[in-house]
Structure 1
């Protein structure tokens, strides 16, 4: 059993080394954190107050669990647990389970009053699946992470974006300040992504740093796309189109415009990424037509408050 304690600032380098190594293995991969040193460094900025670590008898860092709590939404997101188990150790699963459970117990004070909790990991992370089951989390639908890089990304950035026209003049704009547009985008977001990690109000207020592109028909909102420029990629987080216009090309135009705006504002990245829920065949077709390919599959485990 490792020693468990809250992290200190001087642990950051060892935590990053551990995560870069374990995130490269699908059997340890957690979806929130990114995979490169740059992505992890940004995610862990100011990490100590919400992180516990595990160390062995020599003081070597062997485990990590971070939490992100949104008290406005009443939700918590687990970044881990990660446990560094010696390769081919005969008791590897037991070591992982015991220390993962101890890390989770140690963050209990940070989760006080938050019954809605989630962890998001690779579908091949069997130890995480068992951890989730032990602690009352239920598996949701898997998500495919799709990437566009190389020629596909260049094609997106060079494409002449034009929102399909079937009525009055339409245009795509970065989210304007107009209150009615904010309300329409927030309502569409809540309708298409109920109980996600980000509310419609948080999205339009920009509290999580999203760039939002809106398709307009006069004063009417047809759809929107929202995303961020991460250290290693442009990330397309949400795409929503009014039901009557789905399949008309509005979504693809929004994704293309969003990636262009992120590149314009934040500079070059080697790839663009998006997550698509299992069974959403229309979104898969859209991203595939835009040159994205399936990179990995993740699944969310969620503990919900009692009804």
Structure 2
């Protein structure tokens, strides 16, 4: 399955859960009145209806006899953090959409340059994208399937609460994936610039016709990528800080509760497998978000000063 198709599917999913109102149509991001209204209404429903749903889930944990008495507060802490991060995510949608559009214009630009040069995204970046997409898809699918697998005997209200909670978790997972995809696109641009610079420097003389113009074009693209990367980190800064805190709370509390539950309850194998795999996959998913940050820094700082003209052109770009 192609990367563009996977990005298209993810964008539709992001609209469905209320994360954005932009969808990908023929390689362009578009927003319609219907998607704007749908996203707004769904966001309001989520913000208003999620607190009682999370409170009910916390009370459900509190009633379980296997949970130690001194741990009664942990479900409330976990769900309170979840809710705050979800609200912060939904209220910052406008800023994310603005950088999404800016990044898209830059992607179109370097895709055109890559096509002209006959270059493709390198295999390591493609592999990283596919693995991250698999982990994100598995987590979101697990939350959806959990509604059908573990709600026997639940009332209609409890099932609706589960739907809201699992949609909230999908928002948390999809936000970090959107951040990953944004930085992945920047890394792809840096990799192309680095390849072209290396090829230009090693195969052509500075006296060759068009050498200076090609070098200037590559450095301008590099500067645009750097500015966009800074904007992405500035816009996602508080969001990712909140998501990291939520991830730490999730890891600590769910790890502890899961270990107690499996030791004190006759747990079915399916439940153990489901919970354990979700726990491990989310750790892996967040690790790859951290990894793409390091990779962007690595690609951005790769040496490009093997000829004296590079430093001259760099100064010209920043004038």
* Class of the TM-score when normalised by the shorter of the 2 chains: under 0.3
- Say which structure is richer in helix: 2
Structure having the higher strand fraction is 1
Structure 2-normalised TM-score? 0.24
Give the number of the structure whose alpha-carbon radius of gyration is greater: 2
